[in-house]
């Protein structure tokens, strides 16, 4: 996907890389890959992967464009009036300077084109440490902001405004539908939805040990599509061992990317982590380096990646703290008073990383903002629906969206589970995670959503229906009463295993890759004044495959933020960046 930047300044660029949109606004383009649609006085430019037709773009209300299929940006021009959209849930980020002088799909392009020196935003640092992504619409840099979820930018010569086109709360219901007929309807809808996301060309599917990828694989075999599958990790990792065996049994192409080899650990890990932090300087490239690495490899042979992102989050009630739902996030939604939120945030362990005196004012202001956010959520929603308002509006675009955004630098990423119509219909039923109990630990209650996976697979590939997953049971076990033991036994076994055996967290080569850069990271830390250097160096020196996962993630988030801040705005595009 080529990026763009919109401003009122005209540059001396080749005409194919600069477009006059209106009398006031110009578009600079990184490359030449975009689609243009014309009808009457209306002109629509699309960047990314729009799956629909021209007719769909022009027969619906313009504010319905984000509900169309695909991951894309749409710039709608009518006379001297501009509207800039990101597709559903604003999964692809839309950035703008606080004064709206620049609007872009890339933070780095804004930094390069602007004459301003953007300083570090301390509140964003706090948010990233507490939640693993920004809670609000800040970025790493003061003066560069992220457009809110379900919002578009409207530009005229006189003014620039942010407007909302959709409300997440409208998706929720107080009385979700139940029963086998409802499940049958939802599974049938997804099968037909997935069909629309499968391209005519050969494509790749991320196939792991869970349900998301295998559901897509099952649908692809059902429609007799030509596709390849892949996963990544060390060979003994179940996300490699299980899909490798499954793929062999059903005779589909499969490859795995070894993240334990010397070349990856010494070279590819840090190269891709640095590129990740450059492309998305609000993310944690040191944790997700493998996403970029594997994407670049499959892009050598394929134009499309079919991804199962957010499938689990749609179907299963979130219940564990971790990278997606940090302890601080759970604390906000489980606290019953403002004082309780304040107390828990002030005691949050990730904040031991910073020099508190340097962030004192920003921390107090952020806590007040968090309290106000909690109080602003509609009280007529269930506790879980209140939480899922944040999941839909912030987690989907800021956590999973960064993967999609990074990958689309190299390949078209299609995400059937992020389809507006499917999500709307799913949320009317008991099978949506949002309609489950709040943070339930009951495995039987949490299984409701997995029933849909199983129903889809049963209808599309009976062989996959009988294959064991990384959960320790088969899709078949979810639908049939006698499968209950097969579900509970692995659940209990895993719980007991966690108590008696430490988990090796180096299955993705993250620890090995970090330790290979120990001296470089040590220097970065020692050059950074806003952190408690002694505290974080102690974590780095003690780092091992058995380090606490949350401590590991905090360490690598900190180093990623430091690394991103030290990168200069030196992207080397000769057109867009006007070098």
Please check whether residues 98 and 210 belong to one and the same domain.
no
Strands 203-206, 304-306: pairing is parallel
**What total of structural domains would you count in the chain?**
4
In a domain, 381, yes or no: no
Please check whether residues 346 and 458 belong to one and the same domain.
no
In a domain, 356, yes or no: yes
**Percent of the chain clearing pLDDT 90 (strictly above):** 83
In a domain, 575, yes or no: no
pLDDT at 299 over 60: yes
In a domain, 571, yes or no: no
Please check whether residues 363 and 396 belong to one and the same domain.
no
The average confidence (pLDDT) of the chain is 93
Asked whether the beta carbons of 58 and 37 are under 8 A apart, the reply is yes
Nearest Cα neighbor of 291 from 222, 238, 230, 215 is 230
Please check whether residues 282 and 391 belong to one and the same domain.
yes
Per-residue pLDDT at 386: 96
What six digits make up the tokens of 276?
């990740």
Per-residue pLDDT at 567: 84
In a domain, 297, yes or no: yes
* Of residues 228 and 322, more confidently modeled: 228
Strands 203-206, 160-164: pairing is unpaired
What six digits make up the tokens of 551?
């401590």
Per-residue pLDDT at 537: 98
In a domain, 474, yes or no: yes
Please check whether residues 304 and 399 belong to one and the same domain.
yes
pLDDT digits (tens, 9 = 90+) for 478-513: 988 777 778 776 666 666 666 666 778 899 999 999
Q: What is the pTM of this model?
A: 0.95
Q: In the listed set 134, 166, 198, which residue is the last one of a domain according to the structure?
A: 166
Which residues have C-beta within 8 Å of that of residue 264, sequence separation ≥ 6? Answer: 257, 258, 293, 509, 513
Using left for φ > 0, alpha for ψ between -120 and 50, and beta otherwise, residue 218 falls in: alpha
Please check whether residues 283 and 428 belong to one and the same domain.
yes
Per-residue pLDDT at 206: 96
Residue in the structure block whose two tokens are 């202001």: 365
* Dist. CA 569–CA 564, nearest whole Å: 10
The H or E element spanning position 290 is helix 285-298
- Tell me which of 190-194, 293-297, 472-476, 568-572 is least confident: 568-572
Per-residue pLDDT at 572: 42
Average pLDDT over residues 443-456: 81
pLDDT at 51 over 50: yes
pLDDT at 137 over 70: yes
Please check whether residues 70 and 183 belong to one and the same domain.
no
Q: In the listed set 446, 474, 500, which residue is the last one of a domain according to the structure?
A: 500
Maximum average pLDDT range among 18-22, 28-32, 421-425 = 421-425
CATH of the domain at 86: 3.60.20.10
pLDDT at 294 over 60: yes
Per-residue pLDDT at 500: 62
* Dist. CA 54–CA 421, nearest whole Å: 19
In a domain, 313, yes or no: yes
Q: In the listed set 500, 532, 554, which residue is the last one of a domain according to the structure?
A: 500
401 three-state secondary structure: helix
For residue 539, the tally of other CB atoms under 10 A from its CB is: 19
Please check whether residues 266 and 297 belong to one and the same domain.
yes
Please check whether residues 195 and 340 belong to one and the same domain.
no
**Percent of the chain clearing pLDDT 70 (strictly above):** 93
Average pLDDT over residues 201-226: 97
Please check whether residues 364 and 347 belong to one and the same domain.
yes
Which residues have C-beta within 8 Å of that of residue 224, sequence separation ≥ 6? Answer: none
Per-residue pLDDT at 490: 65
Which residues have C-beta within 8 Å of that of residue 533, sequence separation ≥ 6? Answer: 525, 526
pLDDT digits (tens, 9 = 90+) for 255-267: 999 999 999 999 9
Please check whether residues 246 and 273 belong to one and the same domain.
yes
In a domain, 578, yes or no: no
Q: Which domain holds residue 280?
A: 175-319+386-500
Please check whether residues 393 and 441 belong to one and the same domain.
yes
What six digits make up the tokens of 522?
């040590």
Per-residue pLDDT at 472: 87
Cα distances from 574 to residues 112, 120, 397, 435, in angstroms, run: 12, 27, 30, 50
């Amino acid at each position: 996907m080529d990026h763009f930047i919109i401003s009122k300044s005209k540059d001396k660029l080749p005409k194919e890389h600069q477009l006059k949109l209106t009398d006031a606004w110009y578009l600079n383009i990184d490359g030449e890959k975009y689609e243009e649609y014309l009808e009457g006085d209306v002109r629509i430019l699309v960047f990314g992967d729009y799956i629909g037709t021209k007719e769909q773009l022009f027969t619906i209300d313009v504010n319905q464009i984000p509900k169309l299929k695909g991951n894309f940006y749409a710039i709608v021009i009518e006379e001297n009036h501009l509207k800039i959209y990101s597709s559903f849930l604003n999964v692809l980020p839309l950035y703008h300077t606080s004064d709206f002088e620049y609007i872009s799909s890339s933070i780095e392009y804004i930094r390069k084109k602007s004459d301003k020196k953007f300083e570090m935003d301390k509140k964003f640092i706090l948010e990233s440490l507490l939640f693993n992504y920004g809670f609000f619409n800040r970025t790493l840099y003061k003066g560069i902001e992220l457009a809110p979820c379900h919002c578009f930018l409207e530009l005229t010569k006189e003014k620039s405004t942010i407007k909302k086109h959709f409300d997440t709360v409208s998706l929720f219901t107080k009385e979700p539908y139940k029963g086998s007929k409802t499940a049958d309807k939802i599974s049938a809808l997804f099968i037909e939805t997935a069909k629309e996301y499968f391209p005519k060309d050969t494509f790749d599917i991320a196939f792991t040990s869970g349900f998301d990828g295998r559901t897509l694989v099952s649908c692809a075999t059902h429609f007799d599509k030509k596709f390849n599958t892949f996963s990544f990790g060390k060979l003994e990792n179940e996300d490699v061992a299980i899909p490798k065996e499954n793929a062999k049994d059903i005779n589909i192409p499969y490859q795995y990317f070894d993240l334990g080899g010397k070349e990856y650990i010494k070279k590819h890990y840090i190269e891709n982590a640095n590129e990740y932090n450059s492309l998305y300087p609000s993310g944690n490239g040191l944790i997700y380096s493998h996403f970029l690495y594997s994407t670049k490899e499959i892009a050598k042979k394929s134009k499309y990646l079919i991804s199962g992102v957010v499938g689990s989050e749609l179907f299963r009630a979130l219940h564990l703290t971790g990278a997606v739902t940090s302890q601080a996030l759970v604390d906000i939604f489980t606290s019953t008073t403002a004082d309780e939120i304040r107390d828990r945030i002030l005691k949050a362990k990730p904040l031991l990383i910073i020099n508190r005196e340097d962030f004192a004012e920003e921390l107090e202001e952020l806590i007040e903002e968090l309290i106000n956010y909690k109080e602003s959520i509609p009280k007529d929603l269930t506790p879980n629906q209140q939480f899922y308002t944040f999941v839909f509006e912030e987690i989907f675009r800021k956590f999973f969206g960064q993967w999609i955004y990074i990958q689309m630098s190299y390949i078209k990423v299609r995400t059937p589970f992020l389809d507006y119509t499917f999500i709307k219909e799913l949320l009317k039923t008991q099978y949506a995670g949002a309609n489950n109990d709040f943070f339930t630990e009951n495995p039987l209650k949490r299984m409701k959503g997995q029933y849909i996976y199983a129903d889809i697979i049963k209808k599309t590939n009976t062989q996959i229906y009988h294959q064991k997953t990384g959960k320790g049971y088969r899709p078949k076990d979810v639908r049939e009463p006698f499968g209950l033991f097969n579900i509970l036994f692995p659940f209990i076994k895993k719980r007991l295993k966690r108590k008696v055996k430490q988990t090796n967290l180096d299955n993705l080569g993250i620890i090995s890759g970090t330790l290979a850069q120990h001296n470089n990271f040590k220097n970065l830390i020692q050059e950074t004044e806003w952190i408690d250097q002694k505290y974080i160096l102690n974590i780095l020196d003690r780092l091992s495959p058995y380090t606490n996962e949350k401590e590991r993630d905090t360490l690598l988030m900190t180093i990623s933020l430091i690394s991103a801040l030290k990168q200069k705005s030196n992207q080397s595009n000769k057109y867009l960046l006007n070098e």
